[in-house]
Amino acid sequence: MIKSPDASRVLYGNLLPAPGEYGVDPVHSFVEFSVQHAVVGQVRGRFDSISGMVRVADDPLLSSIEVHVDTASLSTHHKGRDEDLRSQRFFDVEKFPKMSYLSTGIRSEPGGRFTVDGNLTLRGTTRPLSLAADFTGIIEDQWGNIRAGFQATASLNRKDFGLTAELDRETGGLLVGKDVHIRIAAEVLLKSKVSP
């Protein structure tokens, strides 16, 4: 429920947050991933340490997003696997402690969705990545903060970022899939309003 009448607006036929700078709430924001394992299953995990800013412009299509993720904060609920993923074979977190996403543009799509175009930097490699995004609502919480929610999904080929371990086995089988599916659930807090 919208408790603050000036915290939202309707544009493009959709409810959208009011212009301003919104900081990512790291306690209520998650980057989750899944990848095929041994052909028949999946490995799922997430990153728990996230920071960033969503700058909502008066024209929402001119808005921008900046997100930074601590690669060492990944968890797949298996200690040995997590240590392997943090090693030089995969994320190499000592050399590359952060991955970052910077938007380059936003497009309105049918059905109230948006496409966020941007660049993902991972393991020192930057590649374009588009997110299918939804604005999920805005409230004034019990502490008086203006809190907005967003969800987004994307897929990438991990080979594009040098994550090639386990791609090809001597048997010709695939132990860990090449396509990584990403789901982002983020809550952001209004830091400052844009003056009209």
- In a domain, residue 178? The reply is yes
**pTM given for the model:** 0.85
- In a domain, residue 157? The reply is yes
8 A C-beta contact, residue 122 and residue 104: no
- In a domain, residue 3? The reply is no
Average pLDDT over residues 127-154: 92
3-state secondary structure the chain: CCCCCCCEEEECCEEEECCEEEEECHHHCEEEEEEEECCCEEEEEEECCEEEEEEECCCHHHCEEEEEEEHHHEECCCHHHHHHHHCCCCCCCCCCCEEEEEEEEEEECHHHCEEEEEEEEECCEEEEEEEEEEEEEEEECCCCCEEEEEEEEEEEEHHHHCCCCCCCCCCCCCCEEEEEEEEEEEEEEEEEECCC
Give pLDDT, residue 38: 60
Reported as a single tens digit per residue, the pLDDT across 91-123 is 999 999 999 999 999 998 887 789 999 999 999
Give pLDDT, residue 12: 54
Between 168 and 143, the more confident residue is 143
Q: What is the CATH number of the domain that holds 119?
A: 2.40.128.110
Between 194 and 94, the more confident residue is 94
- In a domain, residue 22? The reply is yes
What confidence category does residue 2 fall into, taking pLDDT thresholds of 50, 70 and 90?
very low
Between 138 and 152, the more confident residue is 152
Give pLDDT, residue 113: 87
Highest mean pLDDT of the ranges 48-57, 82-91, 186-195: 48-57
Q: Which domain holds residue 71?
A: 8-193
Is 177 a residue whose pLDDT tops 50? Answer: yes
Q: How many domains does the chain have?
A: 1
Could you tell me what percent of the chain has a pLDDT over 70?
A: 83
- In a domain, residue 32? The reply is yes
Cα–Cα distance between 184 and 30 in angstroms, integer?
A: 6
